[in-house]
Amino acid sequence: MKTDSKTLRATLQKHFGYDVFRPGQETVIRALLEGRSAMALFPTGAGKSLCYQLPALMMEGTTLVVSPLIALMKDQVERLQERGIAAARIDSTLTAEEMNRVLQDLTDGRLKLLYLAPERLLKESFMERLRDAQLTMMAVDEAHCISEWGHNFRPEYLRLARVAQDLGLRRVLALTATATPRVAEDVCREFAIAEADLTRTSFVRSNLEYRITPVADRQRLGFLVDRLRETEGAAVVYVTLQHTAESVATALQKAGLSARAYHAGLSAEHRSEAQEAFMQGEIRVMVATIAFGMGIDKSDIRAVFHYNQPKTLENYQQETGRAGRDGGAALCEWLACEDDVIVLENFIYGDTPTEGGLRQLVDHLLRQGREFDVSMWDLSQATDIRSQVIETVVTQLELEGVLQPLGSFYAGYQLRLLQTEARWMAGYDEGRQRFLKRLLEAGERARSWITFDLDEVAARMGEPQDRIRKALHWLEEAGEAVLKPFRARQRYRLLEAASERRPSKVAAELAQRFAAREKQDVERLQTVLKVARGPGCVVRALAAHFGEETSACGRCSHCWSGEMKVWELPAAPIPEITDEDVAVIAELSRQRLPALRQARQMARFLCGLSSPAATRARLTRHDAFGLLERVPFPQVLALVEARMGG
């Protein structure tokens, strides 16, 4: 295959309309076309996607693109299709008919690019379809998620290297905008990428002006309003909490500014509507948690404000990198206040599971029969451990040869008929009519929907679950009904290595791993603060974090000051724990609430950190929830342990 510059530029012009490559793109593309795996470490907006899209067009077969971002998949597939490129996506928003059409196109070899989420590769039936297809390459977006040292570790990413081997893919392209040297080393090791095939381009963008402005919490809102009035063009304001997004957006609207809130607590429809309005310029300011921006291609954002402290330097770089992608001047300003640190630290401590919960989880998994199925949601409720942490534990046991995943299925469905029973029944023979009538009678009827718990329905009908599941899907595929699955369950097989592992030892090892992760995440917060306080250039410190040496930018707030000093950031005094607070804790202890029986659970509750057990018990509505939310978690935990005896 020709990989000379002339051929590559001709393909670039023909399919994408560009005359020249951006820095690093051609190097990555040539490595892939020559049959090697590669890693592209480019800043936000530097053209990572072209690095797999162009070679996909020049090679036989289909390129798999793994991404956790539905918005990005949808946007890129639409853009590729507009260019006449055979691309498709598989995600939870597709109907059964759309899904079958994509799978058929894959089998028939009609697709050049197929986008999917990493969780999809857990399904054994889907993996069988992939094994039968002609695949040529896997591109892994947000590849830093594979590293436990990364700022956004995702357990499902740990399986991707094994999946690539299973599918016989010699070429893997790992893409990220945020990887420190240690994370990049992890990614390259997982995918067997040679050091020479790691291409890193500069993170420094001269059109961005970085300002870190010390502002007391009570003054931040007024400062933000003034700053937005001074600047022009689209702006994004990043906040930590969902309720902050709502309150700041409302305040900006009252100040006469066009603004909307965006966060994970809003419905998908509401988020999509807000995003579209921002993209079309109908609203000027988006006030958002980090849920906003991933995969969003809006090039004319003139300002990015951090109303609250970023969680990590990786988040900071990625979020500020959304400004000025058209090359025009843009402002990136952080309204720095140390009050944010306690909230962010407490979130970190709140995510760490108790050792008791880990023992319960591991004991449950390792004492099952040879093959079993579990609900991650049920496990989360039973152990009071967040679902993502459970995913991490299960994935770790897979990689250690203790568990083998066998795919997933749904234990329940809701069905809404699109016409009267009599009308659609008339089209079927007598035997099928009898079966379908029994099926509908076995479900729980509401006004519009019929709910099917497969365990209960199978018992009532005396039929295997597989037949019931196929019948429900058949009704949807025939256009007779709308089907909504729920209660996902995963199947596993216990392997021989399970008999060699003591649950208590495994739980202790996991507890050590999570404690180390907690310590590392707290240190990350302090690293962000260190950049804010200085001394020295902000841009230079950011670049150094990602392994790049550069000179002072001369434009950031620290360079402007001309002073090599440590900046003081405003901080409200930490509230003292009163006798009344201690009395409340004593009363809660006496009540022996199941969701607060361990000291760490009680400390989370007092710091206003929800957990599966506290949410189920509706304790997040309790008057004492968040009683000590402005107090550092370790201080609250020490107090609770002293009162509860550990």
In angstroms, the CA 579 to CA 276 distance is 51
pLDDT-derived band at 224, boundaries 50, 70, 90: very high
Over residues 137-141, mean pLDDT: 96
| Amino acid present at 551 | S
Average pLDDT score, the chain:
89
Answer whether residue 330 shows pLDDT above 90: yes
Over residues 109-130, mean pLDDT: 88
Closest-CA residue to 150 (of 185, 121, 191): 185
* pLDDT at 418 (0 to 100): 83
Closest-CA residue to 424 (of 433, 414, 412): 433
Closest-CA residue to 205 (of 115, 116, 299, 286): 299
Answer whether residue 151 shows pLDDT above 70: no
Residue 453 vs residues 376, 386, 411, 466: alpha-carbon distances, Å: 17, 25, 6, 13
Answer whether residue 24 shows pLDDT above 80: yes
* pLDDT at 291 (0 to 100): 63
- Could you read off the pLDDT of 263-289 as tens digits, one per residue? 888 887 888 889 889 999 999 999 998
Which residues neighbour 409 within 8 Å (Cβ) at sequence distance 6 or greater? 373, 469, 488, 489, 491
Tokens standing for 294? 């991933």
- Could you read off the pLDDT of 620-646 as tens digits, one per residue? 889 999 999 899 999 999 999 988 765
Dihedral (Cα; 597, 599, 605, 606), 10-degree rounding = 130
Over residues 132-136, mean pLDDT: 94
Closest-CA residue to 49 (of 183, 117, 139): 139
Q: Are the C-beta atoms of 173 and 40 separated by less than 8 Å?
A: yes
* pLDDT at 135 (0 to 100): 96
Answer whether residue 85 shows pLDDT above 70: yes
- Could you read off the pLDDT of 39-68 as tens digits, one per residue? 999 987 788 999 999 999 999 999 999 998
Neighbours of 611 (CB within 10 A): 25
Top pLDDT among 419 and 349 is at 349
* pLDDT at 149 (0 to 100): 63
* pLDDT at 145 (0 to 100): 87
In angstroms, the CA 132 to CA 127 distance is 9
* pLDDT at 1 (0 to 100): 63
Helix and strand counts by DSSP (H, E) for the chain: 27, 18
Over residues 349-378, mean pLDDT: 88
pTM given for the model: 0.83
Which residues, listed in sequence order, are joined to residue 417 by a DSSP beta bridge?
481
Which residues neighbour 421 within 8 Å (Cβ) at sequence distance 6 or greater? 437, 440
Over residues 234-259, mean pLDDT: 95
User: Which sign does the torsion angle of CA 343, 345, 348, 349 carry?
Assistant: negative
pLDDT-derived band at 541, boundaries 50, 70, 90: very high
* pLDDT at 607 (0 to 100): 93
Tokens standing for 176? 């990220």
* pLDDT at 295 (0 to 100): 56
Over residues 538-555, mean pLDDT: 91
pLDDT-derived band at 512, boundaries 50, 70, 90: very high
Q: Highest mean pLDDT range out of 242-251, 370-379, 486-495?
A: 242-251
The H or E element spanning position 613 is: helix 612-616
In angstroms, the CA 230 to CA 232 distance is 7
In angstroms, the CA 285 to CA 301 distance is 10
| Amino acid present at 495 | L
* pLDDT at 646 (0 to 100): 55
Q: Are strands 481-494 and 371-374 parallel, antiparallel or unpaired?
A: antiparallel
Tokens standing for 622? 């309790």
* pLDDT at 148 (0 to 100): 67
Over residues 422-450, mean pLDDT: 84
Spacing of C-alpha 374 from chain mean position = 22
Tokens standing for 134? 């002609």
* pLDDT at 387 (0 to 100): 86
